[in-house]
Chains A and B, each alone.
Chain A
Amino acid sequence: MSPSEAVKSRGRLKIFLGYAAGVGKTYQMLQEASALRRQGVDVVIGYFEPHGRLETIAQTEGLETVPRRTFSYRGASFEDMDTAAVIARHPRIAVVDEFAHTNVPGAERAKRWEDVEAIRDAGIDVYTSLNIQHIESLNDQVWQVTGIRVRETVPDWVVQDATEVVMVDVTPRALLHRLERGVVYAPEKALQALENFFTESNLSALRELALRQTAHQLEERRDELLSPVPVRKSHSGRKEHILLWLTPDPAAAMLIRRGRRVADFLNSTCAAVLVARDAGLSDLSPEDRATADRHLNFCRNLRIDTQLITGSNAAKAVTEWARAHQVTQIFVTRHAKGIHNLVQLARDMQVTIVSERVRSG
């Protein structure tokens, strides 16, 4: 099969994007699915999380649901999507709620978005729901805004790969009213949510991020349509390459997310290097080695090429590697040892010192 045929037969992905629980993503997704079903389109529910929301549950009426699969883990049993059964049923569209969900242990794939990839690979279109705070590269910003470190994330490339992203919008005020009326959570849980996460300023900030993300997605999509082979050049006609200098510093996770986001927005390539004295990382402590490994893995998940380079002077090694690979911009954390050294050595390219995002107030 040629690549273009493969693209054609792959299922499309439509994401219903929201900024918090209760904005109505699942409701709108099911409403559309029902409407399509009435028009005779073969739509089934692959997975749906009712959360006890009656109005949403009512939208599933008339839609076929693929039964869930039961997984046992350490003596307990858990229900989750039966991806194989969804693929075997082979509808035209499968509705799969909660894109960022982490699968129960024992499932074939770790993440639901990976299941969705598999369903699309089988040529089935997928409708899914996602909140803005689950997008990986926004993780630090979301934490700064809300004080909550979101654990379940989806890599940006998966979202960018969506055929369509639609913003499900309500105002924070309307959402807060819904919460007070107990539409979203049970009353005692709602009170807790109101105090922690659901403040007007939190919700407004997340909503703004979601609006901007949807707008950006449209722009990306148009660019792709206009030039299917991405032309990634700066205004001066030069291709932009971003290089992330990884260190065992835990803050490098922020560097990775920020670098990925900037590279995506600037249409730049993105690679990462880690410098050690030898390939076995013997100069690092066991903890540092573990942190470095986590960073390298994290990069690969976000589709950032990684490279281990050896050298005794890290700043020098990074600069030389950058020069040899036509890097235009090096990203580094504020805490990297040798940062002043790098700034002086790499005077022929741009160096970005990524802020360590902190919470205030």
Chain B
Amino acid sequence: MASQDFSRPDPEELLRRIQAQDEQEARGRLKIFLGYAPRVGKSLRMFDEGRRRLKRGQDVVIGAIQSKGSEELRELIGQFEIIPPVKVDGVETMDIDAVVRRAPQVCLVDELARDNPPGSRHAHRWLDVEELRERGVNVVGAVNLQHISEQQPVVERITGKRALNSVPESFVHSADEIVIVDVPAEELRQHKGGISSLTPEQLSELREAALLLAAQVVERQLQHYMDLHGIVQSWGTQERILVCVTTQKTARTMLESGARAAARFHGQLLAVSVRTAELSRADEEALRHNLDYARKLDADVHLLEGSDAVGEIIRFAREQRITQLFIGHTRQAAWKFWKSSAVDRLIEAAEGMDVRIFPPAPQAV
């Protein structure tokens, strides 16, 4: 990712974004109810929202439903006008043109990840939704974690199973709003029944993954909103850790600590190296080694150049909304010239971030 992606937008850029936003307004809005496992009740929540909108006088119709469902669900569905599906190859699928002609305020679409029968206009239901939005229809839909393609490896690792159909995660990120349907795993097992194949631990892990996905979507929306309004964020809701990598061996310890902290906080790990001058061959090799290690730990690695390393690091850290900056001591104690030491200058300049200073060599036990 290029570093300028995060920099403060200039006025023209801001204007362009506002225009893009205006165009966006003409597009139908999308709201997604996200469940972490089958039967958490995401569809119920979605139709319940539809019912409340109906009560408030909004024009709500159903574009697509899944046949199976509880009695409670069927009763809810009975309150709505359903746009009759079309049959393609003997299989029912959403009638996009009919929905657009009917022009409701809101169209409810269940099971966003469903595939359409062969010969349909679009292969997948989520593409139908994209067309509906293009044509100005607001959609409220529901999907489960196991049906989001980028989450499927995670779900498979947890449950050992992989769903066949899916929506891309970018589709979820494109939603204007996302709501997580959160139910404790124990209750799901006790009261709803039918999913005893998953253990409480598995359900807990799925739940965590869904919560974190929702947090990510919210974070991106928040960032978009802030950019749009020219607000520069000086705080982080997500921990972003930047490790300053040099030729020193201690970089490995720093990167490991950074990776661990990023994992524990569900944050991001970045690594940066500033080239201020030519390096000897040995130093070049040591630096390459450290940067390779950073990549191995999934750090987002950035190489900067400039005569003022401290200045470059601080500028970059601010751009990237860093919350924790990891730096290493230099080999020699900086007693005599501590006022000008890079470590002290970094501490002074890194206002607004936590600065963690690491020992020069691997820590003695």
Contacts and interface: CB of A to CB of B under 8 A. Distances in A.
A167 B208 CA distance: 11
Interface string A177-219: 0000000000000000000000011001101110110111011
Interface string A198-242: 001100110111011011101101100100000000111010000
B179 A347 contact: no
A168 B183 CA distance: 9
Contacts of A269: none
Given A344-B334, A360-B232, A167 B184 contact: no
A343 interface: yes
Interface stretch (B63-71, B104-112, B144-152, B342-350): B342-350
Contacts of A358: 234, 351-352
B230 to A, nearest CB: 9
A211 B351 contact: no
Interface stretch (B78-86, B125-133, B212-220, B307-315): B212-220
B293 interface: no
A204 B360 contact: no
B182 A352 contact: no
A353 B325 CA distance: 10
Contact of B225 (A141, A169, A204, A214): A204
Contact of B232 (A204, A221, A354, A361): A361
Contacts of B333: 344, 347
A266 B256 contact: no
Contacts of B221: 204
A208 B237 contact: yes
Given A334-B351, A353-B355, A164 B338 contact: no
A212 B225 CA distance: 20
A350 B180 CA distance: 39
A323 B211 CA distance: 40
Contacts of A164: 184, 186
Interface of A: 14, 141, 144-145, 164, 166-171, 173-174, 200-201, 204-205, 207-209, 211-212, 214-216, 218-219, 221-222, 225, 234-236, 238, 258, 265-267, 328-329, 334, 339-340, 343-344, 347-361
Interface of B: 31, 176-184, 186, 201, 204-205, 207-208, 211-212, 214-215, 218-219, 221-222, 225-226, 229, 231-232, 234-235, 237-238, 256-257, 260-261, 264-266, 329, 333-335, 338, 343-344, 347, 350-360, 363-365
18 contacts: A166-B182, A169-B179, A201-B226, A204-B221, A208-B238, A211-B212, A211-B218, A212-B238, A215-B212, A218-B211, A328-B363, A347-B359, A348-B359, A350-B257, A350-B356, A353-B354, A355-B354, A361-B232
